[in-house]
Structure 1
């Protein structure tokens, strides 16, 4: 079972890297992100059906630590843009929601750092780190969320919506990836 869990996690990581290739929010990115999510769900089911990582040799736990960490950081970006694209479908404010990404510059890098910090905090057994990361992000983004100098095509609601959806998706992804290692 250890080999299957590690193989599926590695496959999810490969899919995460591949998901960065297509255009952000494209159908191909959404499909690849869905497959990545399915791999992670299968890993979760396998760990829940078994004894989690309890009893694993330390070297295999360390391999899972690295794979899941890479997956947390790398996979969260495409998954977040896929969720945002799905949220925009059928939305009459889609253009302003998409343009909200221009207001919230640096989102991919900030999201990767956010996921890395959350993953590290949870794996280290310090869940309070999530609150600190989210507080820093919220305080740093507050001026952009309330700025009156936004383009006319971007509503403040669209910027806030993008921030909330993106943050929740990103955080949930990092928490899920860290949960693989905490499964006892």
Structure 2
């Protein structure tokens, strides 16, 4: 079971890294790679649920899973969030597009990576309150951009708020899921 969990987690991390390669946001290849990465994560969860989790693992293998799951939490959340936003945008006009709203909420990929890393570390360290602190900091830091009257006319304020909420929830849920692999007993 240990080898299968580590292999699936490493596979998920590989697909996460590959999903960063497509240049256009919401590209079909990125969505497919994100889906395969997500499937690897679901498979890891199912294997851990079917067994005893990681409670009986030797420390060295738990540490390997720590590194793989941490890398997956940080790198996998970006393409997954972009893919979710692309799926949300189907049928939206350009002004309602969450992808276009990314021009208002600049730096989202870097902020999201830092957010996922901090949430993963806080949960694995046994400090779940860290999740609230990370979200509070992000919300307070983004508030001026969310409420700015100087937003470009090509983007609706609703699209900007939608991008922030959907992106944050997807990102947080992904990092919590990756931390859950390590906390399974």
Do the structures match in fold with TM over 0.5?
yes
* TM-score normalised by structure 1 residue count: 0.98
Aligned residue number for residue 5 of structure 1: 5
Alpha-carbon offset, residue 94 of structure 1: 6.2
Q: Runs of at least 4 residues of structure 1 off by over 6 A?
A: none
Give the total of aligned pairs. Answer: 184
Q: 2:48 maps to which residue?
A: 47
Number of the residue aligned with 1:33: 34
Residue in structure 2 matched with residue 79 of structure 1 by the alignment: 80
TM-score (norm 2): 0.97
Query: Is structure 2 residue 114 aligned with structure 1 residue 134?
Result: no
1:40-97 deviation per Cα after TM superposition (whole angstroms, max 9, x unaligned): 0000000000000011000000000000000000000000000000000122356542
Q: Which residues in structure 2 correspond to 1:95-134 (within 5 Å)?
A: 96-134=97-135
Q: What does the per-residue CA deviation read over 1:5-26, in whole Å, with 9 as the maximum and x for residues that have no partner?
A: 0000000000000000012211
Q: What 5-or-longer segments of structure 1 have no aligned partner?
A: none
Corresponding position of 1:69: 70
User: What is the CA–CA distance in structure 2 between the aligned matches of 1:6 and 1:129, rounded to whole Å?
Assistant: 27
Specify the alignment match of 1:16 in structure 2.
Answer: 16
Listed as ranges, the gaps of 5+ residues in structure 2 are none
Q: Distance in 2 between matches of 1:67 and 1:94?
A: 39
Q: For residues 123 and 19 of structure 1, what CA distance do their matches in structure 2 show?
A: 25
Q: Is the 8 A contact 1:121 1:129 kept in 2?
A: yes
Q: Which whole-Å CA distance do the structure 1 matches of 2:108 and 2:43 have between them?
A: 29
Inter-CA distance 73–99: structure 2 relative to 1 (3 Å threshold):
same
Distance 1:180 1:123 in 2: 10
